[in-house]
Amino acid sequence: MAWSYRRQVTFPETDASGRVHFTSVLKWAEEAEHHFLAEKGIAVLTPEGGWPRVGVQCDYRLPFAFGDEFEVELVLAQMGRKSLRWSFRILNGSSDVAAEGEMTTVFVEQGEATEIPQAVRALLDK
Amino acid sequence: MAWSYRRQVTFPETDASGRVHFTSVLKWAEEAEHHFLAEKGIAVLTPEGGWPRVGVQCDYRLPFAFGDEFEVELVLAQMGRKSLRWSFRILNGSSDVAAEGEMTTVFVEQGEATEIPQAVRALLDK
Amino acid sequence: MAWSYRRQVTFPETDASGRVHFTSVLKWAEEAEHHFLAEKGIAVLTPEGGWPRVGVQCDYRLPFAFGDEFEVELVLAQMGRKSLRWSFRILNGSSDVAAEGEMTTVFVEQGEATEIPQAVRALLDK
Amino acid sequence: MAWSYRRQVTFPETDASGRVHFTSVLKWAEEAEHHFLAEKGIAVLTPEGGWPRVGVQCDYRLPFAFGDEFEVELVLAQMGRKSLRWSFRILNGSSDVAAEGEMTTVFVEQGEATEIPQAVRALLDK
């Protein structure tokens, strides 16, 4: 089931094309993931590590402009031993799919990819 | 043949993990592409349009820290009717492939994907 | 009277010091101003112009970390003929003043600083 | 005596006004400072601390666009017991002063403003 995160485009997220820079859209997907984890009670960043991305992919279909509303629909597509695969869709104010992609994060402790603890798995499953 | 672009990681390109944010690496690939186009004499941004990304993909293998040297190896992998597919590798100071990916840009005029003019094709082929 | 804008620190707003980059705090002040203008019914960005900054100043007293709550207290300190002077305070979750500053924006049309129209003044005064 | 740092405006440094975002100019001043320190053999960021900004101020006179050349003229204006005051001017390709400001950094170790070591002072004086 998709988890939803919404806000508006800020000015520094745009570029001289008059539209949103392509990297801003990827920041939104990460921002949604961080809110998802926080809501589940899972630490996003710890002194020992966190959830860095090892892969991202995104298709851009429709542009966003300053002030536009967007919604990230985030799905935890797959739970691996050390990694999570997220899929996301970014909807515009008319509920059109403006962007769509995936990202894979790994659970890192002490700088090393590490097995996701059972307690964290349980929280993700809830 | 790969075209090369080099510089050092700046401070705002890092995040609280102590490493480079994943979107900075994608900005480097775009920055390399812009330098490539400029060197060929091709306009990157015009009042009427430019070369927005319609797809990006990246795998991250090794992290970068503030001040690290990096090199983008950029290859124009495919020239379509209205689009260009670029592949890139980001090397660290030890020439290890730290990141690797692709991006597809479209030629846009008046807000519409447009056939790449023959003159531009000729410059890309040079 | 101070106008208030609140949200949480996002990950890309931090840097490798583990804290928020100094420019992120200035983006928050601008973001608050944009929300203020939008709420008053004043266009922030138009095809002909907008409200670029001609001066900013900020003192930083306490750091912010990823996920911290912050509140921007924004005051329209002075309305000039072509410019607005804003003062702002950024409060942390304990309501301490973590940063404090000013910014001056000018009303721009066709690339030129222009007298602020009477209708806009009326909206600002409301 | 002014120390000089030059490069070109990148695309993500611009915004939907078609010009450079005001915070990008401040990043350039910091980037110049970091290059200055590195060239003197002074660590910019250490596991224990660094040189965070406690104050910045900037006046913006002329805009920058994507691809524009700029030069930061940086001067170490004052060396305090725990802090450094830097003044900077940003010149455009016609050597006009497009922006001008100051920033104050403090020497931080273990999260605390600390007296600047004699060895660092000697390097700054060289």
pLDDT in tens, C19-31: 999 999 999 999 9
Smallest CA–CA distance, residue B78 to chain D, in Å, is 23
| Residue type (1 letter), B10 | T
- The percent of residues above 90 in pLDDT, for chain C, comes to 92
| Residue type (1 letter), A72 | V
- pLDDT, one tens digit per residue, over A19-38 is 999 999 999 999 999 999 99
CA distance A17 to A40: 38
Are B63 and B15 a contacting pair, CB within 8 Å? no
Residue ranges of chain C with per-residue pLDDT less than 70: 1
**Partner residue opposite B23 with nearest CB, options C12, C15, C65:** C12
- Maximum Cα–Cα distance across chain C: 46
Residue C53's nearest CA partner among C73, C20, C35, C31 is C31
Chain D CB within 8 Å of residue B45 CB: yes
pLDDT for A60 beyond 90: yes
Q: Which residues contact A48 (CB under 8 A, 6 or more apart)?
A: A109, A110
3-class DSSP assignment, residue A118: helix
- Cβ-based contacts of D11 with chain A (< 8 Å): 15-16, 21
Q: What pLDDT was estimated at residue B2?
A: 84
Q: What pLDDT was estimated at residue C25?
A: 98
CB contact under 8 A, B27 and D44: no
- pLDDT, one tens digit per residue, over B24-55 is 999 999 999 999 999 999 999 988 889 999 99
Q: Which residues contact B121 (CB under 8 A, 6 or more apart)?
A: B79
CB contact under 8 A, C44 and A38: no
What letter does residue A117 receive in the DSSP assignment?
A: P
* Tokens found for residue C5: 């804008």
Residue D17: φ, ψ to 5° = -75, -15
Chains with 3 or more CB pairs under 8 A to chain D: A, B, C
* Tokens found for residue C44: 């922030």
Which element (helix H / strand E) includes B26? helix B22-40
Chain C CB within 8 Å of residue A102 CB: no
Evaluate the CA torsion angle D5, B66, B4, A12 in order and state its sign: negative
Q: How large is the angle between the packed helices C22-40 and D22-40, nearest 10 degrees?
A: 180
Mean pLDDT of chain D, nearest integer = 96
Mean pLDDT of chain A, nearest integer = 96
CA distance D85 to D104: 4
Which element (helix H / strand E) includes D23? helix D22-40
CA distance B22 to A54: 9
- pLDDT, one tens digit per residue, over B83-122 is 999 999 999 999 999 999 999 999 999 989 999 999 999 9
CA distance D51 to C124: 39
What letter does residue C11 receive in the DSSP assignment?
A: G
Angle at D60 between CA B24 and CA D13, to 5 degrees: 15
3-class DSSP assignment, residue C93: coil
Could you say which residues from 5 to 44 on chain A have a Cβ atom under 8 Å away from some Cβ of chain C?
A: 10-12, 27, 30-31, 34, 38, 44
Q: Which of D8, D10, D15, D21 has the most A C-beta neighbours within 10 Å, making it the best mutation to test the interface with A?
A: D15
pLDDT for B17 beyond 70: yes
CB contact under 8 A, D19 and A16: yes
| Residue type (1 letter), D98 | A
Smallest CA–CA distance, residue A96 to chain C, in Å, is 24
Are D101 and D56 a contacting pair, CB within 8 Å? yes
CA distance A71 to B68: 35
CB contact under 8 A, A30 and C11: yes
Region D49-74: mean pLDDT is: 97
pLDDT for A111 beyond 90: no
- Cβ-based contacts of B17 with chain C (< 8 Å): 16
Query: At which residue do the structure tokens 């993909």 appear?
Result: B57
* Tokens found for residue B114: 């447009």
Which element (helix H / strand E) includes C123? helix C118-125
- Cβ-based contacts of C26 with chain D (< 8 Å): 22-23, 26, 56
* Tokens found for residue C82: 């072509």
CA distances (Å), origin B49, targets A98, B45, B82, C32, C91? 19, 6, 13, 31, 41
Mean pLDDT of chain B, nearest integer = 96
- Cβ-based contacts of B68 with chain C (< 8 Å): none
* Tokens found for residue C59: 């003192």
Number of H helices and E strands in chain A, helices first, is 2, 9
Query: At which residue do the structure tokens 């100051």 appear?
Result: D102
Chain B CB within 8 Å of residue C65 CB: yes
State the complex-level ipTM. Answer: 0.96
Smallest CA–CA distance, residue C3 to chain D, in Å, is 22
**Partner residue opposite C12 with nearest CB, options A11, A27, A44:** A27
Q: What pLDDT was estimated at residue A71?
A: 98
CB contact under 8 A, B15 and C19: no
Q: What pLDDT was estimated at residue C8?
A: 98
CA distance D60 to D104: 18
CB contact under 8 A, B58 and A55: yes
**Partner residue opposite C11 with nearest CB, options B12, B15, B66:** B15
Are C68 and C8 a contacting pair, CB within 8 Å? yes
Smallest CA–CA distance, residue B117 to chain D, in Å, is 23
Smallest CA–CA distance, residue B25 to chain C, in Å, is 13
Residue D25: φ, ψ to 5° = -60, -40
| Residue type (1 letter), C8 | Q
pLDDT for A1 beyond 80: no
- pLDDT, one tens digit per residue, over D18-43 is 999 999 999 999 999 999 999 999 99
Q: Would you tell me how many other CB atoms lie within 10 Å of the CB of residue C108? A: 19
CA distance A107 to A36: 15
CA distance A22 to A40: 28
CB contact under 8 A, A22 and B26: yes
- Residue D26, judged by CB atoms within 10 A of its CB (0-12, 13-18, 19+), counts as buried
| Residue type (1 letter), C109 | E
**Which residues partner with B65 through β-bridges?**
none
